[in-house]
Amino acid sequence: MQISKKLNRRVFLAGISAAVAATAMPSAGFALTKAAAEKLINNLSSDIFKIINSGKSETAMYRDFDRVFAKYAAVDAIARTCLGPPWRSANASQKKAYTAAFRAYISRKYGKRFREFIGSKITVTSAKAVKSGVLVKSVVKFKGSAPFTVDWQVFERNGKRQMFDLYIEGISMIKTEREEIGSMLDRSGGKIDKLVARLNKAG
């Protein structure tokens, strides 16, 4: 009787400490916390809004967007994901040329989209841990019209926090651009060099 009671208690205590360890694990195990991801997005969005409200010319703004994109986003991972399997068959200089063209294309295209945010206010509302990092949710409010949601996928690589994807009302930049780049590659006869030339003219 006595022994089994003791044993039970020990099992019980062991269970509790295991549970505590398990709940403590995520913050100890994963370097990317929700707070850190939220901070990254707060900084990123405040940089974007600074550009929008700067009153600079369109080309100057695209240059600024390009800098912000390179600073906060995992440009190479995004570019690679948008190209998909053809990435494997490209050689090193093609990969480099494609990534550079992609980066400028995104800065032009999304720079244009972000300019429509003039006069709005963005607020980070929540964050949740997902298998590949953190998904940060924010709301963009325009005076007198319905707010819309922008979600940001943040991950950490080699100790660096980076933005990977953004969703405007559920529309993913990566999914949309993968479709677009796939069509461009089709029209380029599957040739990466022609795709790069096409990208330089698009957006």
Q: Taking the complex as a whole, how short is the minimal distance between the CB of residue 128 and another protein, in angstroms?
A: 8
Sequence-separated (6 or more) residues with CB below 8 Å from residue 190: 86
> Whose CA is closest to 115, among 174, 171, 54, 200?
54
Residue 176 in the binding site for another protein (CB under 8 A): yes
Half-sphere exposure of 25 (CA within 13 A, CB side): 7
Q: Taking the complex as a whole, how short is the minimal distance between the CB of residue 108 and another protein, in angstroms?
A: 11
> Whose CA is closest to 41, among 168, 171, 136, 149?
136
Residue 171 in the binding site for another protein (CB under 8 A): yes
Sequence-separated (6 or more) residues with CB below 8 Å from residue 105: 199, 200, 202, 203
Residue 80 in the binding site for another protein (CB under 8 A): yes
Residues 109 to 168 in contact with another protein, rule: CB under 8 A: 112-113, 116, 130-133, 135, 137, 144-147, 149, 151, 153, 155, 157, 164-165, 167
Six-digit token pair at 102? 């992609």
Q: Which positions touch another protein (CB under 8 A)?
A: 74, 77, 80-81, 83-88, 112-113, 116, 130-133, 135, 137, 144-147, 149, 151, 153, 155, 157, 164-165, 167, 169-172, 174-176, 179-180, 183-184, 187, 202
